[in-house]
């Protein structure tokens, strides 16, 4: 299977990283958001493969607050969310936040899921490595769920995701990547509910899966909406 066929099959409707980032600018521009009046908050995996997307978002929106943990999970909590909000510009008496949250996966030349080439390494590498490691523990039946102080983010990732997996099942990597996206989205929305005051702030929820191809990166869009003056509006990247 070619890369393109695998992308269409597993992540239909994906757009390039550039079109995703600038599509959010166009879509949110219709609702009063722009670079100077908005702070972008970005959660992607720590993997350097996600850097081009994070850079594209920063080119589109300006310097972003870093929400990232392994796999793009949101472990910064209310304190992190509130810090970002305290850095936001206040224009016309309102603050505006654009919250990005993405899981990620590589697709190889032949459409192999999870495989990518990395400079200076002969053997293929895995992405997302944190999810592949979790999946390996699941398939080998020796899952450790206690909080390991020497492996905090991976412990939290496993604790957060295990409840989304049916007992005894080992999801394939595409499914696990989408489950991770769903958890990121849920955590984003819950913490927004706990920290954002719609009476004084507008915000956008922009989620998806970052797919790394052999030659370019893509985004499979997930939730795309804004809450403006307390009212939810759906966004299209168009
Ligand atoms: Zn990763």
Mean pLDDT of 219-233: 97
How far apart CA 195 and CA 191 sit, in angstroms, is 6
Give the Å distance between the CA of 162 and the centre of ligand 1.
17
Phi, psi dihedrals of residue 35, rounded to the nearest 5°: -55, -55
| pLDDT confidence tier of residue 1, bands split at 50, 70 and 90 | confident
Give the Å distance between the CA of 106 and the centre of ligand 1.
9
CA dihedral 146, 69, 180, 87 (to 10 degrees): 130
Give the Å distance between the CA of 49 and the centre of ligand 1.
8
Give the Å distance between the CA of 3 and the centre of ligand 1.
19
Q: Does residue 141 have a pLDDT over 80?
A: yes
Give the Å distance between the CA of 128 and the centre of ligand 1.
4
pTM: 0.96
Question: 15-24, 118-127, 161-170: lowest mean pLDDT where?
Answer: 118-127
CB 1 within 8 A of CB 110: yes
How far apart CA 80 and CA 237 sit, in angstroms, is 28
Give the Å distance between the CA of 20 and the centre of ligand 1.
19
Q: Does residue 119 have a pLDDT over 90?
A: no
Q: Does residue 85 have a pLDDT over 90?
A: yes
Give the Å distance between the CA of 126 and the centre of ligand 1.
8
Give the Å distance between the CA of 177 and the centre of ligand 1.
10
Give the Å distance between the CA of 130 and the centre of ligand 1.
6
For 124, the token pair is 């293929």
Q: Does residue 37 have a pLDDT over 80?
A: yes
């Amino acid at each position: 299977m070619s890369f393109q066929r695998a992308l269409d099959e597993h992540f239909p409707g994906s757009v390039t990283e550039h079109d995703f980032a600038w599509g959010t600018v166009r879509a949110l521009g219709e609702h009063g958001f722009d670079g100077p009046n908005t702070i972008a908050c970005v959660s992607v995996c720590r993997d350097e493969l996600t850097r081009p997307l994070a850079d594209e978002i920063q080119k589109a929106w300006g310097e972003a607050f870093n929400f990232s943990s392994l796999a793009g999970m949101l472990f910064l909590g209310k304190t992190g969310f509130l810090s970002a909000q305290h850095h936001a510009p206040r224009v016309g008496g309102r603050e505006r936040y654009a919250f990005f949250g993405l899981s990620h996966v590589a697709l190889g030349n032949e459409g192999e899921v999870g495989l990518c080439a990395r400079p200076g390494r002969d053997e293929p590498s895995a992405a997302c490595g944190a999810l592949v490691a979790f999946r390996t523990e699941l398939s080998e039946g020796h899952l450790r769920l206690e909080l390991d102080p020497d492996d905090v983010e991976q412990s939290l990732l496993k604790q957060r995701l295990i409840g989304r997996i049916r007992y005894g099942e080992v999801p394939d990597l595409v499914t696990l990547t989408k489950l991770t996206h769903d958890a990121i989205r849920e955590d984003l929305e819950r913490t927004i509910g706990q920290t954002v005051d719609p009476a004084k702030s507008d915000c956008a929820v922009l989620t998806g899966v970052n797919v790394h191809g052999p030659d370019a990166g893509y985004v499979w869009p997930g939730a795309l909406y804004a809450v403006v003056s307390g009212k939810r509006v759906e966004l299209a990247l168009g």
